[in-house]
Chains A and B, each alone.
Chain A
Amino acid sequence: AQSVTQLDSQVPVFEEAPVELRCNYSSSVSVYLFWYVQYPNQGLQLLLKYLSGSTLVKGINGFEAEFNKSQTSFHLRKPSVHISDTAEYFCAVSYGGSQGNLIFGKGTKLSVKP
């Protein structure tokens, strides 16, 4: 079955430190990849997406992610985090192209400490 794995349920980090949130997906010929952020009691906001082309994708709020086809990964990174980055982050994959549904990982809680 198609799946998305976020390896870390919680990631605590100090302010201004770099962070990487990991995401792996089950192999498929063609995938679209997404990272979303969710603040408490709110919906999801798109951080960035990979559809095709350059494997390094830049998103909002200084985040970036790299698509690695051989490792079936799409890890999210930020070189220097802020307190305001504290939130839940979800990796999602579409296996069916533009008509496929999104499959979400279980989420990673990023906690940024002063």
Chain B
Amino acid sequence: GAVVSQHPSRVICKSGTSVKIECRSLDFQATTMFWYRQFPKQSLMLMATSNEGSKATYEQGVEKDKFLINHASLTLSTLTVTSAHPEDSSFYICSARAPLAFYNEQFFGPGTRLTVL
């Protein structure tokens, strides 16, 4: 149980285009999902916290108009990188928190490698 999927696993796009990444909790409902960004050989940096049915909360320094997050249902959150540029190339990882969890365990997706040419 507690599986989180991401799609696509890898995407290459041209500069200026928009890219959508999906994060799904496959066997549980997640009221809260998280989006992280990971640069090569670095740690995960939280970008935003997404709650079902409400606006996402972005971390300081993350452009909310650049990284659009939609958490439309209890099993799906999407991250759209708008007008992508080469500096947006990174590994994006989502996670989901099960609503009945007593502790703060997050279940992580396999990640999406974005390359902007």
Interface residues of A (CB under 8 A from B): 32, 34, 36, 41-46, 49, 51, 90, 94, 96-102, 104-107, 109
CB–CB A42/B110 < 8 A: yes
CA distance A106 to B43 in the complex (A): 5
| Interface size of B in residues (CB-CB distance below 8 Å) | 23
Interface residues of B (CB under 8 A from A): 4, 6, 34, 41-44, 46, 49, 91, 93, 95, 101-106, 108-111, 113
Q: A49-B105, A98-B103 are in contact. Are A43 and B110 (CB under 8 A)?
A: yes
Q: A41-B111, A42-B110, A45-B108 are in contact. Are A104 and B44 (CB under 8 A)?
A: yes
CB–CB B108/A44 < 8 A: yes
Contacts of A32 in B (CB 8 A): 103-104
Please give the distance in Å from B91's CB to the nearest CB on chain A: 8
Nearest residue (CB) in A for B111 is A43
CA distance A42 to B108 in the complex (A): 10
Q: Most chain-B Cβ atoms within 10 A of its Cβ — which of A32, A104, A109?
A: A104
The contact sample of 28 A-B pairs, CB cut-off 8 A, is: A32-B103, A34-B105, A36-B108, A41-B111, A43-B4, A43-B6, A43-B93, A43-B111, A44-B93, A44-B95, A45-B108, A46-B105, A49-B105, A90-B43, A94-B103, A94-B104, A98-B103, A98-B104, A101-B34, A101-B49, A102-B46, A102-B104, A104-B43, A104-B44, A106-B42, A106-B43, A107-B43, A109-B41
